Structure 1
């Protein structure tokens, strides 16, 4: 077969270069008289645009391809990490099933009531109250999603708060740090029971109603005790950072284990047995009260 000449003729190349140079000259003149040469500038720009595009094309192709392969590499690494986590969680779930079965047998032997199971759903925080002493946020889940007042809200293994008001499309959650909130807690190390009271955003919680001879110390972690039937037992609430004695009175300050300023998604918990959390009895506390 005869070779096909794909190269442009000298005359064509010369004419193209003349057009380009002319367009550049007109654009330079246009800087001095923009209003009068606006149509000429438009035509010149249209003529030069293919040249500019062809020059920039390799760079754009490189950037897009490098970004694509970089994203693919990152996705592969994340996928591998997630697969490893799934395997670990599967093994932990199997071990938990064995412990749960043993626990049920022991409770049956002791004729003790079984602990309720929970189902969970993710909720997103839409709005945060601006009052510095209140801990109120609005979620994107409402009564149409099955949300009820006094429903427990979690942040992983920590208790976040409870639902206080519900509309069909959203709900308001009171955080544990709210000045009007308290939760029954238990010292994970000693088993001592008390109440953790909130005092507003950005502040610590105070542990009250402990025994006079309490042995609580810095570093102790308080978890939900389950008393009152509202909050499930065993979820972490706060960690003690200060124990102070003044005039025979003991003040215990603890830092909440939820980072309320950074959390954007929370877990709504439902009891599988169908018990309504709103039917539970409110535990008295002074001065804060557990809102139902």
Structure 2
């Protein structure tokens, strides 16, 4: 009878336990969903962090390649060089100037030429203890004496404003100049050292009946997409410890 009574009561006991079991199940369900949400958020944060790190690594690799190119360029030039970082760009659209992180404390002086791994960038026009201002070759107040590397004619190219254009005016119409010619510094006026690449002729314009022509040229240096540049020093300008030490590489 006890066994039968116990057996008969089992469904009652099970039914009485359903609310508790159901509550436990719902609790486990919501706990599991919260855990999953937390895990998803954690993974999303981790993915975002990894993507950010990946982007930063890609940027560092690009920067490393640019510095390698600059170092390669410094080995090809005869003058001593100092690698500087660009820390500012003049926001005035009528000016083409940049600021670098080296100044008079690093023996930088007004008038020094500045290059990158592809060609002439400009010259130093102002210098403080820790910074210098560089007037780019495309500034409208800048003029660079150049010659054609192929044929030799000499001319003056002036800044066309912005970062992308140079103009040569009053060029003799008989000058042996062609689209695609490379223009290099001529050294006239002793403003810029002789032989540095400046630009490539992109247009040669001469109106009928005019004995003079106008040329358009594209700078070879990366004027608008550059993080570091080289300041040139002659042997007389560069201190002995720069020539023999790590400072020549901006270290």
TM-score range, shorter chain: 0.5 to 0.7
Stretches of structure 1 that go unaligned for 5 or more consecutive residues are 1-9, 22-47, 101-114, 277-292
Establish whether residue 184 from structure 1 lines up as the match of residue 145 from structure 2.
Answer: yes
Contact kept? 1:135, 1:178, Cα under 8 Å: yes
Distance in structure 1 (CA, Å) of the matches to 2:70 and 2:214: 40
TM-score, normalisation: structure 2: 0.64
Name the structure 1 match of 2:166: 205
Name the structure 2 match of 1:227: 188
Query: Superposed, which structure 2 residues align to 1:10-49 within 5 Å?
Result: 14=23, 17=26
Deviations 1:9-35 (A, max 9, x none): x979946956x99xxxxxxxxxxxxxx
Name the structure 1 match of 2:35: 54
Contact kept? 1:151, 1:268, Cα under 8 Å: no
Report the CA distance between 1:146 and its aligned residue. 2.9
Contact kept? 1:208, 1:252, Cα under 8 Å: yes
Q: Helix, strand or coil for the counterpart of 1:275?
A: coil
Contact kept? 2:84, 2:231, Cα under 8 Å: no
Query: Superposed, which structure 2 residues align to 1:1-292 within 5 Å?
Result: 14=23, 17=26, 54-60=35-41, 62-63=43-44, 64=46, 68=50, 116-132=78-94, 134-201=95-162, 204-208=165-169, 210=171, 213-246=174-207, 247-260=210-223, 262-271=224-233, 273-275=235-237
Indicate the structure whose relative CO is greater, using CA pairs within 8 Å and at least 6 residues apart: 2
Report the CA distance between 1:172 and its aligned residue. 1.5
Contact kept? 1:154, 1:266, Cα under 8 Å: no
Q: Helix, strand or coil for the counterpart of 1:228?
A: helix
Report the CA distance between 1:243 and its aligned residue. 1.3
The alignment yields a C-alpha RMSD, in angstroms, of 4.3
